[in-house]
Amino acid sequence: MSLSVESNEKYAAYAHPERLVSTQWVADNLGAENLVVLESDEDILLYSTGHVPGALKIDWHTELNDEVTRDYVDGEGFAQLMAAKGITRESTVVIYGDKSNWWAAYALWVFTLFGHEDVRLMDGGRDKWIAEGRELSTEKPAVTATEYPVIERVDSEIRAFLPEVLKHLGNPLIDVRSAEEYTGERTHMPNYPEEGALRGGHIPTAASVPWAKAAAEDGTFRSRGELEAIYLDGAGLKPGDDVVAYCRIGERSSHTWFVLKHLLGFETVRNYDGSWTEWGNAVGVPIVRGEAAGEMPAQRGARA
Amino acid sequence: MSQLPDALNEIVEEFTEVPEADRLELLLEYSRELPELPARLADHPELFEQVVECQSPLFLAVEVSAEANNPVGLFFSAPPEAPTTRGFASVLAAGLDGAEAAAILAVPDDMPHQLGLTRALSPLRMRGMTAMLGRIKRQISEQLPA
């Protein structure tokens, strides 16, 4: 049913090599039965300028997010979306996208909320495919709609909400935003206020590891050894840690979630998708400004 | 309520008259039509201001003429891998390039929202578009003779 797992030295070192495929693997398997390739970009028009032949577009904003509530689609919505893209519960889904797979990892994380079993990233994403001079197509593939069961979304394992993050304080947190966002330094010009969050800074004790550190220059994931140097030696994570990652709205931290969960093999990793646009606007939650991670607060906020 | 310059008004109508699903297609067409920079500007990045609110690199240059009514020249630079940003820059170029300074200053700050794309585009993206217009207006105000 599922397609073969790619085996090479780099992937074999990862905790879950079955979660990654190379551009070459995709090129070799295009058109294979049971394979659906999806492009997930930050820019909603990018897919239309040319994509991997046969790949379908999935849009994080209009398709994976609920239109009204700040949340993801529900089981019914996900089932309809999958059916319309010709995906069955048994399909091997390979996702790739722009910006070192940042949005592709976000889509993969949402697929995981619904327990879709075989979902993988194409290492290096869209940019690597193009850099290698591989074929691009503007043809919209024909899709035969399928049946996809309504699966209830399971948030508890890989998603953290604000009250859970408050309870989590004292355990490892990774802030994957840029250094300026972490310190709370404002970079905007007068008359152009940043509307995203009322307060700048980070969650007390969070280690700063900008998400893109996990990507090499060609957009592929760094090797296991390099990733361990960044997250274990650098950020101080220890095997077995219970980790929460966050960013601004939960997209960049999906990339880090993927690295920690699937490449380094941390069992318990949650993405706090409320992230800074929730925390930085919430009443009574502790915030630290500046470069230091900060101390564990005595008071964890009004509701903790 | 301020009036849009005719060319921009026509573009807004062009967007709102088509079904929502076709508006992105229209924006994609505009992205392909963003004019190339003239040679005298192409090699002078120092003449451009970056719109940092955009999620993709976008640079703009504004030239306010000293002629009667101060017609304004608008120039944009954005990479092909940023089609949404290019598309909106192209809308502003087609709708406002050559318009009089006062007419551009009278364009409502929320004009990007009139294109009917707010459901398809994320709030951050819409903010980038609004910032593009805001920076054009600020540069015009600064360049106009007191």
Q: By C-alpha distance, which of A108, A94, A91, A88 is closest to A148?
A: A88
Over residues B11-36, mean pLDDT: 95
A45–B24 C-beta distance less than 8 A: yes
Task: Kindly report, residue by residue over B115-128, the tens digit of the pLDDT.
Answer: 999 888 988 888 88
Average pLDDT, chain A: 93
B25 in a structural domain: yes
Sequence-distant (≥ 6) Cβ neighbours of residue A142 within 8 angstroms:
none
Which residue of A62, A187, A195 is in closest CB contact with B120? A62
- This prediction has a pTM of 0.91
What is the predicted pLDDT for the residue at A196? 65
B1 in a structural domain: no
What is the predicted pLDDT for the residue at A301? 60
B72 in a structural domain: yes
In DSSP terms, B74 is beta-bridged to B62
B123 in a structural domain: yes
d(CA A95, CA A111): 10
Residue in chain A lying closest to B87 (CA): A45
Could you tell me if the ipTM is greater than 0.95?
A: no
Kindly report which listed range (A104-113, A274-283, B44-53) carries the lowest average pLDDT score: B44-53
d(CA A233, CA A237): 7
B75 in a structural domain: yes
What is the predicted pLDDT for the residue at A299? 67
Domain that holds residue B133: 6-143
Within chain A, residue ranges assigned H as helices are 9-12, 23-29, 75-84, 102-113, 125-131, 162-168, 179-183, 224-228, 252-258, 275-279
A107 neighbors A114 (Cβ within 8 angstroms): no
What is the predicted pLDDT for the residue at A187? 47
Task: Kindly report, residue by residue over A123-164, the tens digit of the pLDDT.
Answer: 999 999 999 999 999 999 999 999 999 999 999 999 999 999
B51 in a structural domain: yes
Q: How far is B117 from chain A (nearest CA, A)?
A: 11
Q: How far is A48 from chain B (nearest CA, A)?
A: 8
Q: Which residues of A touch B (CB under 8 A)?
A: 42-46, 48-49, 61-62, 67, 98, 187-188, 191-192, 195-196
Find the length of chain A: 304
Q: Tell which wins on pLDDT, B146 or B23.
A: B23
What is the predicted pLDDT for the residue at A215? 95
B88 in a structural domain: yes
Q: Is B139 on the interface with A (CB under 8 A)?
A: no
pLDDT band at A206 (very low <50, low <70, confident <90, very high): very high
Residue B2 DSSP symbol: P
Structure tokens at A111: 């697929």
pLDDT band at A194 (very low <50, low <70, confident <90, very high): low
pLDDT band at A304 (very low <50, low <70, confident <90, very high): very low
Residue in chain A lying closest to B30 (CA): A45
**What secondary structure does DSSP assign to B20-32, as a single string?**
HHHHHHHHHHHHH
CATH number for the domain spanning B61: value is 3.90.1010.10
What is the predicted pLDDT for the residue at B51? 81
Catalytic amino acids of A?
A: 247
Over residues A173-186, mean pLDDT: 90
User: Distance of alpha carbon A174 from its chain centroid, rounded?
Assistant: 14
How many domains does chain B divide into?
1
pLDDT band at A258 (very low <50, low <70, confident <90, very high): very high
Residue A221 DSSP symbol: B
A263 neighbors A227 (Cβ within 8 angstroms): yes
Q: How far is B119 from chain A (nearest CA, A)?
A: 7
B108 in a structural domain: yes
